Amino acid sequence: MRLPRLGFLAAVVASSVFAACSGGKSSSAPPVAGDDAGDDGGSGTSFTYAPATCKYTYSPPAVLGYTNVAPDDTGPVDPVMGAPVRVRVGLGGGTTMGQPGYPDPTTSAAFTWETAQQNNAAKVQMGTSATALSQVSAGYAWTLPPGLGTANTYFHEVHVCGLTPDTTYFYQVGGGPTGAEVWSATQSFTTMPATVPSGGITVGVFGDARDTVATWQAVHVRMKAAGVLMSLVDGDVVDIGSEETLYSQWLDEIWQYPSGSSTFLTLGQQYILPINGNHENDSPTSFANWAVPGDGPYAETYASFTVGSVHFTMIDDEQIAEANSSTEAQAQLQWVDQDLSAANADRAAHPFIVVMGHRGLFSTSLHSTDPDVLQARTSLAPLYDKYKVDLVINGHDHEYERTAPITTGSPPTSAPTVQAAGQGTIYVICAGAGADAYAVGTTSVPYRVTKTAFGSGTPYIGAYTLLQIAPAGLTLTAYGLVASGSSPQDDTVIDTVTLTPAQ
């Protein structure tokens, strides 16, 4: 059973709000309704979704407290209250590298959306032309019970596999009775290339948006301008992870372009995969809002997949940091060990390993000596040493910071050891997508290469990074976000580092 961290919410949230804060959303696979599926208020514990084109299944964990879990049907849909909103593109799949159903963003996608009224319409119709959406796939729907001060929220999700790599697909989501379906506007996204093209593949990485929605939006304007196909978020999208109205506000701001036109920004236009931070508090709301690979009681607290030459590992460090001896934390650490071992053995095909979690393991800012941060470092950093992880990207401390290649000290809570290029792991903190700024560390430490603050007294309102995956290398470029800009070319490059495959 997951032990929810009340932390900063303890004073304002009744314990009943978090009674179901255990286990993430599991990952998926043709619709099969269990005995309690439908509108009887069941928790969905016997429901399994098996997307017809995929090789994995998803059973919503009962601990999340979802109700009315049911497969797509042709029941009536109100054209206004049943209209899909905030459509997003994520990823499903298993968590064992090399096994059937392992996540593949070159050939699969998962679509999640909300409606203002309950219905079971859960279809996506798609194609390579906006006028020929002939490929139809079915999913499932569920109700998210109220979180902190909110009403029920009605979610729908469809997973699709068997797509063509590096291909733009147009799609609509919705469904309903034949001849009276209710569909979303047409959006489009592009699957990831199967091999790295000469121009490379751009992946956006950023996090900690929770205080200023305008900055969060500005970061996504940059993601759109940079031609990003996938964005990875290192936690703390909103301030209170159990508050659905915050997700609605934050996601509305990245769904359509801020000009107010009908042009879409990034939500539903590119893959967006977040991992939880401490402000998500592992709440059912945080898991409901995104499609991230995984299955089982702790699903969506860890996932991995490959893009081009990079193996990405994502780990929710909440329980590792706060309840390290719990069954969940130990299961997560065992998975990290297994996943990185498999990735390290696969270097010939994917020479780079990049890990993303929330807490800055080697921060020199505000949280650098917090007990939970040091516990996360003690548990995770030795595994990164063991499997020679190339790059770790974290958030939590609202700044930008990069270390030299380092290995963990002895004990891990002590200062790390600086290594030669290619002989250690580089740690980056990039937490500037809207969170209030922290001061950067002022003490000189030998393992810190660079640091940049944002906020009052600086030229920047935030920070973000772009990963350029090239045929022969991996380059991280960090940008100071300028309020008056609209693309990376308008912002300031505050750091860059290029990694090459080990010889």
**Digit-coded pLDDT (tens) for 122-154:** 999 999 999 999 999 999 999 999 887 778 999
Residue 383 phi/psi, 5-degree rounding, is -70, -35
Residues 48-95: pLDDT tens digits? 999 999 999 998 888 899 999 999 999 999 999 999 999 999 999 999
- Whether the pLDDT of residue 171 is over 60: the answer is yes
Q: What integer pLDDT is reported at residue 258 of this predicted model?
A: 62
- Domain assignment present for residue 260? The answer is yes
Taking Cα atoms as reference points, which of 428, 324, 339 lies closest to residue 379? 324
Residues 285-309: pLDDT tens digits? 999 999 999 988 898 999 999 999 9
- Domain assignment present for residue 234? The answer is yes
- Whether the pLDDT of residue 318 is over 80: the answer is yes
Question: Is residue 46 very low, low, confident or very high in pLDDT (cuts 50, 70, 90)?
Answer: confident
- Domain assignment present for residue 24? The answer is yes
Residues 107-127: pLDDT tens digits? 999 999 999 999 999 999 999
DSSP label of 222 = H
> Distance between CA atoms of 395 and 278, rounded to whole angstroms?
10
- Whether the pLDDT of residue 396 is over 50: the answer is yes
Residues 333-375: pLDDT tens digits? 999 999 999 999 999 999 999 999 999 999 999 888 999 999 9
The residue range of the domain holding 344 is: 7-499
Q: What integer pLDDT is reported at residue 262 of this predicted model?
A: 65
- Domain assignment present for residue 91? The answer is yes
- Domain assignment present for residue 172? The answer is yes
pTM of the predicted model over 0.85? yes
Question: 411: cis peptide before it, omega within 30°?
Answer: yes
Residue 250 parent element (H or E) = helix 244-255
Q: What integer pLDDT is reported at residue 148 of this predicted model?
A: 77
The structural domain count of the chain equals: 1
- Domain assignment present for residue 2? The answer is no
> Distance between CA atoms of 160 and 168, rounded to whole angstroms?
14
- Domain assignment present for residue 79? The answer is yes
> Distance between CA atoms of 313 and 275, rounded to whole angstroms?
10
Indicate the range of 39-43, 162-166, 460-464 predicted with least confidence: 39-43
- Domain assignment present for residue 88? The answer is yes
Residue 147's CB is within 10 A of a number of other CB atoms, namely: 25
Please compute, for residue 38, the number of CA atoms within 13 A of its CA located in the half-sphere on the CB side. Answer: 5
Taking Cα atoms as reference points, which of 224, 220, 227, 222 lies closest to residue 202? 227
Q: What integer pLDDT is reported at residue 403 of this predicted model?
A: 97
Dihedral Cα 66, 357, 435, 14, nearest 10 deg: 40
Averaged pLDDT, 174-189: 96
Residues 217-244: pLDDT tens digits? 999 999 999 999 999 999 999 999 999 9
Question: Is residue 472 very low, low, confident or very high in pLDDT (cuts 50, 70, 90)?
Answer: confident
Averaged pLDDT, 428-440: 95
Q: What integer pLDDT is reported at residue 107 of this predicted model?
A: 98
Q: What integer pLDDT is reported at residue 257 of this predicted model?
A: 64
CATH number of the domain residue 102 falls in: 3.60.21.10
